Structures are given as C-alpha cells and as structure tokens.
Structure 1
C-alpha cells in the first residue's frame, strides 16, 4: 500500500453536450476536474502506478494517444502525464470493454492551476456518466494501490448500456440512415426514432414505420382472419379453424386429418405453438398451452418441412432465414436437463440476450418444450438411454440465412401476403421442405404474417451471410436522392443575431416555406409567436426539428449555448457568423481570449453541408479564417464593396454582398445586382418602438440578405421582403 493516500480528484462540473460542439461533431461528456495535490504528481512520479494500471486494463496498449501508434499512451505514461489525461483513457477503455466503442477524447488545462476540462465521445449520457464514475473510482484505487474489480465495473456500465441503448433492429436501421447522411432523433427511452427533420421526417419503432397501418397490424394479430384473407387471393395456407374447448380441438383435428398444429390466434414469437400432434391426449394438452398465450385457439393441418421467416419490405423480399430442430443424444447417465446444457447450450451462438442469434434453452420456461418431452415419454429429469435421439425444440430459432435460396414463386406469394394484410414491413412465416422450389411442388404454406418483425436473425444469423435489412428499410422510407433534411439556418454571434434570424425567417416565409424560428425574441411558427420567453436554447431548437409542420428552421446560437449544450442539429444548410464579440460573458466557460472564442464559433461553420454555405462578416478579419472550414460555399458580406477580402473572393468566382448607395448589392465574380433598400429598412427600425432592442445596423441587414441569397431566394423577393418586414412581435 502507498504510505500516504492521495486525495480524490474532484469532479467540479459534468456537462453533456448533446450536439456538435467546440470539441467534435458528436455528443460528448465534458468534465471539469480539479487534480488537487495530484497536480504535483504526473504518472512517472506515482510509484508503481503504470504497472498497476496496465495490469487492470491491458488493452490500454492499443491506445495511440498523441504519439499516433500502438503503445502511444503507454509511452506517455512512462514519460509522465497528468491524471486528467489518464482518466480520459480509462473511461474510453471501460466503454470499449462494455461494448460501446469510443475513440475520441481530449483533456485540456484551464486558466486555473490544477483544473482541467476532459471530454470523451458519449452516445448516451447515462452510460457516459456511469463510465465516468467507474473510471474515477478505478483511477483513485490504482493511484493508492487499493483493490478494484474491473469486471464488476464493466458489468455495471454494460447494464446501463443495455437499459439505455437502442435494440439491434432499431440500431441497424439508424446506422443505415447515418450511412445515407439522414439525421435521427431518439424520441423516447425505447426504440421510437425520428429519421430526418421537420416535414421530411419519418418515424420508426423497431421495424414498424409511420407507414405501417394500424388496421394491418390488427389483421396480422388475428391469425384466423389473416389466413382467410390470404386464402381468398390464392395464397396457400393450412386448413384449420378456431376452437373453444379441448374436446372441440380434437374433433376439428380429426376432421382436418392428423397430424395437426395447435396455436394461439394472437400469439407471437412461436409461443404456445405445438406441432405434429397425432393423439387426442397431445391435442388436448396443446390446447391448454395455447389457451394460456392467446385469446383464441386455432387448430390447423400440419405442414411438413422447416419453418422459414421471410422479410418483406415495401413489397419486396429482402431476407430469409430457416429454422432447424434441436436434438440431444442420450448417454445413459445424464438427465435431459444436463444434456441440453452440455450438448445445446454450450454452442457459443446461444445466449440470453439479443447479442446471440440463438436462444439458450431453459427447460421449464417453455411449456411447448415440456409437452414435446412428455410426448416422448420423458421429463427434464429423465435419463435417456445411451444413443437415444431426443427432440427438444422443433425448428428452434429461425436463424440460418437462406435468402439466396428463395424461389421466385415463393417470393411472389410472400410479397402478396404482406400486401393483402396491408403491411409495408412484414415477417412472413412459411413452412416448406425446400424453399428453392414452388410451394405447389413442396406442399408448403404460409402460416403467419407478422407486423413489427425482429431483424436480428437477418443481421446476425447463426449460419450464412448477414443481410442489409436496415438499408432496405431506409431505402423504403426515403427515395435515393432524399436525406430527410429541411433547410436549417444557424446564426451565431453576439450582436443583432436575433434580428438577422427574424429577417431570414420572414424571407423564407415569403418564399413559401413553413418556418420555425428559435431566437431571443421567442419561439415562432410561421409569423405567429408561440412562446414569449427567449428561445435561443437547445431544447427550443430541437423541438422545431421534431415538428412535422415546418419545412425550414432558423436558429439563433450564442457562444454560451454552444458551450453549454452544443448545436441542436448535426448539419445545416447555411451557417452564419457575424462577429467575435461577447467574450466578457463567457468567463464561466473559461473562455478569455479571441482564440478560444474562435474555436467555439467555428462550430457553426464546421457543420455546413457540402451543398450549403457559410455566411461570414468580411469586416471582421478573424472570421475570414473560417472560410476554409466550410464544406460548402462561402458567401461574404461587408459594408464596403471595395474591401480587399471581397475583391479576392469575387476574383475566385465567389459570392459577396455589400452596401452601395444605401442598397444591398449582390455580386458574384464580375456580376452585380442591386437589391434591397437597406437604408429604408433602417429608418423604419429607428422610427419603431420595437427597434430599440433590435441591435440593428447595416451589417445586420446585409447578413440577412446574404443568408437569404445563399438559400436560393431570388433577389427581387429579398428586396420585397425587406420592404414588408415588420419588427413588432405578434402575440
């Protein structure tokens, strides 16, 4: 043990930045920490620290750190690095071990000695906070040579991850959306997700979409009704009927001809379904099992073959999987329960979570398995004779990919089944001895059509190739050239940004857009103010992006809000930066210099889309440096058209807006168009009682004109818009 215990590092402030920020495009957890006495002890001065840490977290050798190669972080430890930096890497490694790979982190000193800002990539705030707490405890235990259970810490983080993270089906769809540059917003703590923004959004809930009909879901949940509808259009289905008593079940079974299947009419995931029943006792026992699962019991003719799940998306077959029976072989010594554990559950593909393509079989939890054992004269504690084959589960998990085997006739039948029920996404259960042949040859039939099908069997099959089902669903929801995005305008700076935002929103309104506006003056939908309190906040802006009624959004962003929350959007069509003022109000964020403020404000330009534009005030020399940061076009504005920056920009074919004779001039290259009457608007502002709080001058108006032009609004409409703009706020 260390002779003198080091005091704990103090976590002064923990802040989740939910959108693009001065650190990165992605959400991060930002932690302000005070090293206290440990400021005097970099890693090379802590006796035995590095060996203890690398023993606890061996994979730290993979962290490149600033060195840029494997072992880079270990090199830093040996040379001596401070505990804030070490905590960053510990947290990242714990997240990696818990199954949420994280590669980004930074630690920077502040103006106060011993106080640091440490950030790391965090897709979920709760998981990030859990990892921080565990990492902090591990670091202090390692410094003081005290015991710490790393595996238990990782398990606690993983539990938080399991509670917080998207399910695998939803995650696959969201990942496919991200690949298409379609933004997403999680709408609840479960799997309800918005894809896209505003009026162009779509919503998913696992594999259900906002195109999934409630009537179709209701039909799919009624197996007897589904079967009647399919039969009416010629889709092969097993004969059968609903029954109310065990005796009636046996009577119907005899009429249909043995063997039969007994199942609940509204069950799912195969619960309560018993196959290949040939005796009265078995049928009546199966009735009781099915009756406990659903509101009605069905008896159907048994179709021989393997069960298949075929995924239909937008009328097209995109994946298929097959199930196989699970068997054990007796050895004359072990019980059925023991044999299941040793011969089936040892398969590494089996487990209790969604990470495994095959379920672990737990005798006693599935009454159908128990019933099948009873039909073979066995119970879980029976000892089968040596060499005896015992059926444990018929068809087992449907998790063997067979997409390439599906016959066109089969594909047509299942697509028709989904269409008849009315589902845009359907999991069609089909039984056939050979899915590569028409069902008329094999005697196969469709036994169920399911809404909201699970995708895991296709994403992570037990055998065969994974299928890109997430991509298929995204391609179904969005046309090839669609991204789900609406025009988003972000306005950053310290003076007049609310007036710029309101002017731009007005011009978009005149251009036929349903505009949402979040600024200091309130929250607006169209020309109506719906909230009076200042709304240049993350939550207000976020609400606009969720609003199906808007097809353009204008958002005012202060430097303080970027530092506090990050931006509310991942990318924008136009990003405006007006000035480098307001630094005196940022001391709480340890921003004291122009260089620091520049890093904050550049966030607005960093997120401009390649097809968008950055609008920059060329009269502020430092803002011109941001031009190279824009992925899209750059539009400059300045009071003087003769400014060297504007000349150079126009020589390269760039667009610029400047003031001449009291009017805004829109210039590109050598072309110039005289537009809006700026002086007339300024005179109206000066005469208006509301003008006093507008912080308006010619530069403010030019910024709005340049932004509108960058959005593709015609110069004549911009001119008319400035002539008709009214500053007074509506109720």
Structure 2
C-alpha cells in the first residue's frame, strides 16, 4: 500500500459545559480522513499488530462491544481511523495518569468527514494528547519508525502538560469531594483558585485555604514568634525561644535557653533552613547561616525530643495526622554519601520531584540542613563512610506516615485549640512528641508551628498507613449539613431556556418574576447581560462566557440563561445542572449548516441537552404543541410540566390524567392544572387585553409562567408580576 496522507484536523472545539455528547467538558474534533476513508483498519496490512504493539493496553478498551477486548474486535473486523484515533488519544491520556473512559466518533453528511470527541478536563492537555495521538496513529498507519520508547516519551510529554495545567493534588482532592457531593466548581485562574458552588452560594478555595481563612490569622501563623506567644498565653505547650539577628546572638540565646536547641527561620515553610538538636557553638552559628536566607528573622528555641507530627485541623477538629521518621544510610566503604543517598533512599518509588509523590528526593545541593548534619558527624556529601556505619541524613524528613488513629484525645483538644487561638479554619499544626498517643505534658511534647494553607498530600498519599479523606472534610466544612438536613450543594436556582422562538422574551419574564420574589437575579440572553434588571452589557450574551460571569458573581441569588442551539453546539451550557429547563421548539436547523445540522429532526439531540441537565428535584417545562419536544419527557430526571395554548392537546390531557401539572389557555385566561384540579392564574385578567399592550405570544407567556410555577413562586405574585411586566421591560431597556 502506498504512503497515506495525514488525517486532517479540520476544526478543534472545546465544549466546556454540558453538550450534545455528554454532561462533561469534551474536546470535539472534525476530521477529514481523505484517502483513508477507503482503508478501514482491516485493510491496512500489519496496521493492527503495529498499533497494539505500541499500545498493548488497548486490549482493556471495551468500546461499543461492552467487554474487554471489544476495541480489538472492532479493529480486526474493520473500523475507520477516526474511531481509532479516539481510542489512541484515550489510551495516551491513561498512560499520562489522566484517565478518561469517554469518547465517541460519528460520521457526518460529507464523505470522509467525522466528528470525534473525548473527555477532557483541561483544554491544553486535551490538545496535546490529540496532537501526540495523531502523530502516533499516522506512524502506525505508514509503518514509520516509532517504538515503545517513543510511546513512553509521548506519555511523559502529556503528563508534563497535566502537571502544568491541572490542579495540584490538595486542590484536586477538595474538588473531587465536591463533585462526589454534586457541588459544581469553576476554576478561576490557571492555578489552584477554585470556586465551589454558584453565585451567592459559592465558596472559594486556594489549595487548602478557603474564603473563611482569615488574613489576620494567616499573618499570625506566618510570624512563628507571635504564634508561640499567643499559644503560650493560652496555656498551650510551646518551646521557649528568641529572635536573633546574628550568629553570636544565636549562641547567646542558646546558652540562655539551654542546649540542645533548634535554629530556624521565624517565617519559613516546608522545613527549609531548620536545624535540630544543636549542642555546640559551632553548630548553632552554622545553623544561623543556614536559616538566615529562608526567612526575615531567625529563631532559636528549645529542642523538643521526639518525632515530628503534622496534625490537620479542619473546622475545629483534627481530621488527619502524620508522623515523621529519620532517614539514614549505611556506609559500604566505597560509596560517597551522595551515592549512598541515591542508592538507598532516592530509589524508593515513593520519592520524586513532583508534588504528587509522598516523599521528596533528597538533594544535598539544595538542602543545607543535611550538609550541616553531615558536618556534625564529621562528614561531607563527598565523604566515604566506613562499611557498616549508619549516617543520619534527615531528622524527621519524612512526615508521611499516617498515625491518625493513634492521636490521644487530649492532643486532639490542644491542637484544635491552637488552630482556634491563631484563628485558622484550616491549619497544619506541627507537634513534636515521642508518642502521639499520650498527652503532651506527660512526655515534654510541644506544638512548634501552626501553618496556614497546609499541604494535604501526606494525608492523601501517605508513605505508610491509610489515606484519609481530608478533601471531603474540607468540603463538608465549607458546605455543612443544613438544620433541616437538606443537601447544601452550593447551588442557586438556575433556569435554562432553549429554543428559537421568543426565548429571549421568556427569559426576561422569568428573570422579572424571580426579581419580584426577592432574589438578586442575573439574566444572560441575546438582549444582554442583566443584574437585577440593570443592563451591564447590551451585546448578545447568550453564550458560555457571559453565563460564567453570572455564576461567578457573589451577589447573584438566581440566574436565567437563554440557550440557542448555536450556544449548545459551540461551547456547551454555562452550568452543569439547573432547577428548571424550558424547551420551546426545535426550529432553527437552517442556520446550523456549519455543525452539519440541516433538518429539524436533528435538533432533538441538540435541545435535549437542556432537559438532560435538570436536577432530580427540578422540572422541565415543555411545549406540548411539538411532538418531539413532548418526547423529551422521558429524558428528565425531575418533574415535567407541559404547556399549550390548546387545552385539548393530547400530551396535556394524558399528563393531567396521570396527575401531572400543565398550563393552557381557556376562556382567555391562563389555567394551571394539577391532575384534575384547575385554577385560573390570579391577578392577570384577560389575556387578550394583556397581550394588546405587549408584543408577546401566548406560548412565551405560558412558558414563563410554567417556569415560575416550577420554581415555587406564589401564583398571586406570578399574576401580579405579569401584569406589571411592561414597566419592568422599559426599565431594563433604559438601563441598557
């Protein structure tokens, strides 16, 4: 077979919100197979063996067959290269420790053109995986040089992008816990600043700090001398110490306190520049020079014997604890200390440079405290210890051994009190004790530091012991159980309105009624972006970016979104779930040729996205005059409310017979029916007179009333609000 030209990537589109493919963010790629349209996998000599040789774990892909080996079965039967690329990209993401199980490939109306999507938590990672997968696939197709080493290098390249772009392990654990509780999240920057929840119900985290973390408390924790003073005042055991300004002062302080002592930066972190168990003037003065570059001041304090422990306090209680141990090497008479470290310590698979390793690699070039400890033993990094000699490398350098279940209740109380004294809602409290299962005062133990924004990795991935659900503890702290035991999920009422006929008018009406109900309401529609009836952006705002502006705004207590088909196809919905989803019609296919949509029937798959995201406790408000809209009833996780200008519409009659809710027009008035019970909407009066003063269809009116009814807004307020809508419309227009 002759050389095949590259598969062309015609269009790459990141769908950030729920879309026609899935609830989650995906990368959608439009592919042109070119000549490969005539060569499915079973017609490319040797291709299947080459591909599986490079990616043997493709055996685990179930594909549409639904069982292990399903994708390989499709390969041997013959499948097209768009589908193969999908699985190649997914496998590369798996190899890069960013597993994803979702992908789909579909043909379009043009020969050789396909749409392929795969789950993508981060756009840049997804684009990198796509580019690398494309390169690997073409190499396998054309039998070009590409081996296992190239696959490994590719996976590392994608993993590096993951490390650059994705959340750190501490933040990711909190976000994962929020996701388990169905709490939505929005990433606010390229780092670890994340919003949990929407609008006025949101909380923010930045690694293990929250918007409940006091700036004053953080400042106190940063000043270790002040922290110790406050703790001592409250009767919490701390080692006495002094701030010093020179090596000479450090030795004088050590003599006053009594040897042995600790020398450390007064405001350092991560143990940098800390030297322990110092017993001579030379050691103290050398330790001062090690500590000085790592903080604004240097502190000398009494050395407390025992192991270092890190206890994590969340919301006033200890939720996890880890213990440190010394790290040593044993001489062999021929290897240097550095060589022994690399051979005996750094080979531990738990050690690494990235932050997701529970233990750090030991490097004498950057850790001056290790060099100082070696000097105290009469050694240097290049020295060769005698065979059998044990050499101390780190004192308490491995604080990653879980000991949560061993913490004595009195230690728990003292540590929790220390966090409260400093004022931190989340704190990492460093305790030195010989036995954490005994009260501190019985063993001369003490609290040596209280840290804001503590790392969580030692508790999530301890080197020894059981992982602790600290992300869930922080999530539960931010979103505690409510007094009535309802789910505190950080959500606000969200209404999404999908369709093409008058949806902007429906959105305005619903936002107006929410405003009258006392909620600070945001509205994103083609008429603009509104905050509590005030226009802040007069341009078309029926898109994802504008929607995010509402959800990030802390003042917004409810939000209404107009969602045309173009919005859903181009970016996905701005929210993950909604309380009320309205679908007015399935028209508009004629304007969507760029998405390969040419028929109204195809619109069903697009507009169903709005119904798919309705919460179980919410409702879908559907136009009963459109048969295919009626068919969406089966897709809704919550209640369904039908509306129609015709009270005898088949869907309305059947729904009411089942005890459902519906709206229709009778005797020139809006009727709200629940089963066989009917009531006229109070306060609105005759529709013909109302509509004579407004350019608004009865369908739009019914859709808005149905949404307000689903939101639990009182009927008399809905009627009065509709009657007053004309003046509100003018106010909104003048604000624009």
Q: 1:46-92, CA deviations, whole angstroms, 9 ceiling, x for partnerless residues?
A: 11100000001110011111111111111111111111011101010
Q: Which residue of 1 aligns with 2:210?
A: 209
2:51 to 50, 53, 62: 53
Q: Which residue of 1 aligns with 2:19?
A: 21
Secondary structure (helix, strand or coil) at the match of 1:52 reads helix
Hey, what's the Cα distance between the residues in 2 that align with 1:683 and 1:35?
60
Hey, what's the Cα distance between the residues in 1 that align with 2:692 and 2:575?
34
Q: Which residue of 2 aligns with 1:112?
A: 110
Q: Is residue 246 from structure 1 mapped to residue 244 from structure 2 by the alignment?
A: no
Q: 1:114-147, CA deviations, whole angstroms, 9 ceiling, x for partnerless residues?
A: 1000011111000000011011111111111001
Q: Is the 8 A contact 2:9 2:29 kept in 1?
A: yes
Q: Which residue of 2 aligns with 1:717?
A: 717
Task: Assess, with a 3 A threshold, how the Cα gap between structure 1 residues 682 and 37 changes in structure 2: closer, same or farther.
Answer: farther
Q: Which residue of 2 aligns with 1:83?
A: 81
Q: Which residue of 2 aligns with 1:391?
A: 392
Hey, what's the Cα distance between the residues in 2 that align with 1:246 and 1:679?
88
Q: CA deviation at 1:332?
A: 1.0
Hey, what's the Cα distance between the residues in 2 that align with 1:607 and 1:472?
27
Mean alpha-carbon deviation: is it higher for 642-651 or for 390-399?
Answer: 642-651
Hey, what's the Cα distance between the residues in 1 that align with 2:119 and 2:691?
45
Secondary structure (helix, strand or coil) at the match of 1:657 reads strand
Unaligned regions of 5+ residues in structure 2, if any? 482-486
Q: Is the 8 A contact 2:313 2:426 kept in 1?
A: yes
Q: Is the 8 A contact 2:327 2:398 kept in 1?
A: no
Q: Is residue 260 from structure 1 mapped to residue 261 from structure 2 by the alignment?
A: yes
1:562 to 565, 568, 584: 568
Q: Is the 8 A contact 1:517 1:554 kept in 2?
A: yes
Q: Which residue of 2 aligns with 1:67?
A: 65
Hey, what's the Cα distance between the residues in 2 that align with 1:672 and 1:547?
39
Q: CA deviation at 1:376?
A: 0.4
Q: CA deviation at 1:642?
A: 2.1
Q: CA deviation at 1:342?
A: 1.0
Q: Is the 8 A contact 2:691 2:697 kept in 1?
A: no
Hey, what's the Cα distance between the residues in 2 that align with 1:155 and 1:316?
40
Q: Is residue 596 from structure 1 mapped to residue 602 from structure 2 by the alignment?
A: yes
Q: Which residue of 2 aligns with 1:94?
A: 92
Q: Is the 8 A contact 2:529 2:546 kept in 1?
A: yes
Q: Is the 8 A contact 1:682 1:697 kept in 2?
A: no
Hey, what's the Cα distance between the residues in 1 that align with 2:449 and 2:698?
68
Q: Is the 8 A contact 2:588 2:600 kept in 1?
A: no
Q: Which residue of 1 aligns with 2:340?
A: 339
Secondary structure (helix, strand or coil) at the match of 1:464 reads coil
Q: Is the 8 A contact 2:669 2:687 kept in 1?
A: no
Instruction: Map 1:517-528 to 2 at 5 A.
Output: 517-528=523-534
Hey, what's the Cα distance between the residues in 1 that align with 2:130 and 2:299?
53
Aligned residues: 723
Q: CA deviation at 1:542?
A: 1.0
Secondary structure (helix, strand or coil) at the match of 1:292 reads helix
Task: Assess, with a 3 A threshold, how the Cα gap between structure 1 residues 488 and 678 changes in structure 2: closer, same or farther.
Answer: same
Q: CA deviation at 1:641?
A: 1.5
Q: Which residue of 1 aligns with 2:500?
A: 494
Hey, what's the Cα distance between the residues in 2 that align with 1:606 and 1:700?
22
Q: CA deviation at 1:397?
A: 1.9
Hey, what's the Cα distance between the residues in 2 that align with 1:602 and 1:389?
69
Hey, what's the Cα distance between the residues in 1 that align with 2:523 and 2:234?
51
Q: 1:237-295, CA deviations, whole angstroms, 9 ceiling, x for partnerless residues?
A: 00111011111110110111100000000000000110000000000000011111111
Hey, what's the Cα distance between the residues in 2 that align with 1:250 and 1:620?
87
Q: Is residue 482 from structure 1 mapped to residue 488 from structure 2 by the alignment?
A: yes
Secondary structure (helix, strand or coil) at the match of 2:645 reads strand
Q: Is the 8 A contact 2:406 2:437 kept in 1?
A: yes
Q: Which residue of 1 aligns with 2:622?
A: 616
Hey, what's the Cα distance between the residues in 2 that align with 1:600 and 1:633?
20
Q: Is the 8 A contact 2:684 2:720 kept in 1?
A: no
Hey, what's the Cα distance between the residues in 2 that align with 1:466 and 1:79?
44
Task: Assess, with a 3 A threshold, how the Cα gap between structure 1 residues 682 and 63 changes in structure 2: closer, same or farther.
Answer: farther
Secondary structure (helix, strand or coil) at the match of 1:386 reads coil
Hey, what's the Cα distance between the residues in 1 that align with 2:197 and 2:47?
48
Instruction: Map 1:106-505 to 2 at 5 A.
Output: 106-148=104-146, 149-480=150-481, 481-505=487-511
Q: Which residue of 1 aligns with 2:42?
A: 44
Hey, what's the Cα distance between the residues in 2 that align with 1:680 and 1:570?
38
Q: CA deviation at 1:404?
A: 0.5
Q: 1:461-501, CA deviations, whole angstroms, 9 ceiling, x for partnerless residues?
A: 00011111011101110122300000000000010000000
Hey, what's the Cα distance between the residues in 2 that align with 1:353 and 1:567?
35
Q: Is the 8 A contact 1:681 1:723 kept in 2?
A: no
Q: Which residue of 1 aligns with 2:734?
A: 730
Hey, what's the Cα distance between the residues in 2 that align with 1:682 and 1:568?
36
Q: Which residue of 1 aligns with 2:640?
A: 634
Q: Which residue of 1 aligns with 2:484?
A: none
Q: Is the 8 A contact 2:683 2:720 kept in 1?
A: no
Q: Is the 8 A contact 1:194 1:204 kept in 2?
A: yes
Hey, what's the Cα distance between the residues in 1 that align with 2:519 and 2:125?
39
1:545 to 517, 526, 551: 551
Hey, what's the Cα distance between the residues in 1 that align with 2:527 and 2:294?
56
Q: 1:659-706, CA deviations, whole angstroms, 9 ceiling, x for partnerless residues?
A: 112211111011111005778566555546xx4xxxx31111000011
Hey, what's the Cα distance between the residues in 2 that align with 1:346 and 1:589?
53
Hey, what's the Cα distance between the residues in 2 that align with 1:51 and 1:678?
72
Q: Which residue of 2 aligns with 1:103?
A: 101
Q: Is the 8 A contact 2:325 2:395 kept in 1?
A: yes
Hey, what's the Cα distance between the residues in 2 that align with 1:679 and 1:118?
53
Task: Assess, with a 3 A threshold, how the Cα gap between structure 1 residues 231 and 681 changes in structure 2: closer, same or farther.
Answer: farther
Q: Is the 8 A contact 1:5 1:144 kept in 2?
A: yes
Q: What's the TM-score once normalised by structure 1's chain length?
A: 0.98
Mean alpha-carbon deviation: is it higher for 311-320 or for 585-594?
Answer: 585-594
Secondary structure (helix, strand or coil) at the match of 2:681 reads strand
Hey, what's the Cα distance between the residues in 1 that align with 2:567 and 2:489?
27
Hey, what's the Cα distance between the residues in 1 that align with 2:384 and 2:96?
40
Q: 1:148-206, CA deviations, whole angstroms, 9 ceiling, x for partnerless residues?
A: 22122111111111100000000000000011110000000000000000000000000
Q: CA deviation at 1:644?
A: 2.3
Q: 1:584-620, CA deviations, whole angstroms, 9 ceiling, x for partnerless residues?
A: 1111100122332100000000000000000000011
Hey, what's the Cα distance between the residues in 2 that align with 1:550 and 1:279?
62
Hey, what's the Cα distance between the residues in 2 that align with 1:117 and 1:186?
27
Q: Which residue of 2 aligns with 1:572?
A: 578
Q: Is the 8 A contact 1:111 1:590 kept in 2?
A: yes
Q: Which residue of 2 aligns with 1:703?
A: 703
1:669 to 656, 670, 675: 675
Secondary structure (helix, strand or coil) at the match of 2:480 reads coil
Task: Assess, with a 3 A threshold, how the Cα gap between structure 1 residues 201 and 682 changes in structure 2: closer, same or farther.
Answer: farther
Hey, what's the Cα distance between the residues in 1 that align with 2:564 and 2:208?
39
1:506 to 500, 503, 512: 512
Q: Is the 8 A contact 1:309 1:321 kept in 2?
A: yes
